[in-house]
Amino acid sequence: MNARPVGIHDISFATTHYVLDHVVLAQQHGVDADKFHFGLGQDAMSIAAADEDIVTMAAAAAAPIIERHGVEHLRTVLLATESGIDQAKSAGLYLHSLLGLPTAARVVELKQACYGATAALQFAMALITVDPSQRVLVIATDIAKYELGTAAEPTQGAAAVAMLVTADPAILRLEPVSGVYAKDIMDFWRPNYRTAAVVDGKSSVLAYLEAIEGAWQDYRDRGGRKLTEFTQFCYHQPFTKMAYKAHRHLLDSQGFTPDPQTVEAAVSDSTGYNRTIGNSYTASLYLGLAAALDGHADLSGRPIALVSYGSGCVAEFFGGTVVDGYRDQLRTAANGNAITRRKPIDYDRYRALHEAELPSDGRRHVLPEETSGPFRLAAISEHKRIYETRTEHIELTEIN
């Protein structure tokens, strides 16, 4: 008896209230904006408001999925992030009060740099293969932050992607074969005592290229598809030019000529959202997937490649086949609205948000109401984060 196919039944994403145009950042840096637009492939970056964090974005991304499908048979919530808010408690548990998730469920937070959501997706597939009646909610949510004035600063961004993983999926049937690669390197890391990551840019790019080539070789060794079988390639995008660089490298490593037209056709659709949102770490690859699904004319029945990389490092190459009728399940208009509704800010406001730190004294602090999203971080009190839905407008009073 053949096993039922498993994959992505629904996908939704959310980003922040604010956006900083790279023209503004270029002016502050005293450089031509083309350095960012063409050198990095970035036009703008999402900036979190004072009352936004990985939980509010995760809830905003997951809410439309819960609204459409309910919580029946939802047995597991896997939240991947590398910008976690607590050393012990999973950020996913905060979603119970915001989304009404079932108590009969396991909720876990996963971490391995930008790769974590791919691990969550693979774990979800394994759970559903064992019990096809259950459903798993996978959420990738991150805020990428680097020090001001560094080369990595213009690659910042923030977003969350939620995916409902089921048997007999309506969007993407994931294939069981995958290739993996791991190596202990220091190309990017963030110690517990830092809010901004440390990155060796040149080392990280080289590590990325080496890792995806290694993951690809393992994929082929395990009987995966030929490179020429894939219609689209979705790469992790710390900046969108990296997707192009990675695909050229992969083609070249396998003896193909990476001509510009071939590379453009393979990856350009997947870069549409990341180009204006910026790096979202664990969510980046799956923003690329959403962009490819929304942007391509028709992918019905076609195989696409997913190439995941997380610094430190772990990589994975795997594929999926787009399900006929997938467009009926997409949220293309909502995705566009999530991007266009962001409020532009000037450099001074961006800098103030970048440098702000949440209080750590244990007293009660009410945060200003800024976000236009459905959920907000309302206060910090006794070292507890207090969240609310904006429709409720819970009255909070600061106690000095």
- Confidence check: pLDDT of 394 > 50: no
Kindly state whether residue 159 falls inside one of the protein's structural domains: yes
Range of 98's domain?
6-349
The answer to whether 110 and 281 have CB atoms below 8 angstroms apart is no
Cα dihedral across residues 212, 280, 333, 392: positive or negative: positive
Question: What average pLDDT is seen over the chain?
Answer: 95
Predicted pLDDT at 149: 94
For the segment 194-212, the average pLDDT, to the nearest whole number, is 92
Kindly state whether residue 368 falls inside one of the protein's structural domains: no
Kindly state whether residue 140 falls inside one of the protein's structural domains: yes
Name residue 287's amino acid. Answer: L
pTM, two decimal places? 0.96
Predicted pLDDT at 56: 98
If one compares 393 and 341, the residue with the highest pLDDT of the two is 341
Q: What is the CATH number of the domain that holds 96?
A: 3.40.47.10
Predicted pLDDT at 1: 47
Kindly state whether residue 386 falls inside one of the protein's structural domains: no
Kindly state whether residue 391 falls inside one of the protein's structural domains: no
- In whole angstroms, what is the distance from residue 342 CA to residue 303 CA? 33
Predicted pLDDT at 2: 63
Residue 398's pLDDT band (cuts 50, 70, 90): very low
Residues marked active site are found at: 82, 114, 236
Q: Which of 199, 169, 163, 153 is nearest to 283 (CA)?
A: 163
Predicted pLDDT at 391: 66
Kindly state whether residue 370 falls inside one of the protein's structural domains: no
**Which two three-digit tokens encode residue 370?**
């800024």
Share of the chain above pLDDT 90, in %: 93
Predicted pLDDT at 399: 33
The answer to whether 240 and 42 have CB atoms below 8 angstroms apart is yes
- Confidence check: pLDDT of 59 > 70: yes
Give the model confidence (pLDDT) of 228-245 as tens digits.
999 999 999 999 999 999
For the segment 218-226, the average pLDDT, to the nearest whole number, is 98
For the segment 308-313, the average pLDDT, to the nearest whole number, is 97
Q: How many domains does one find in the chain?
A: 1
Kindly state whether residue 39 falls inside one of the protein's structural domains: yes
For the segment 355-374, the average pLDDT, to the nearest whole number, is 95
For the segment 385-397, the average pLDDT, to the nearest whole number, is 66
Kindly state whether residue 63 falls inside one of the protein's structural domains: yes
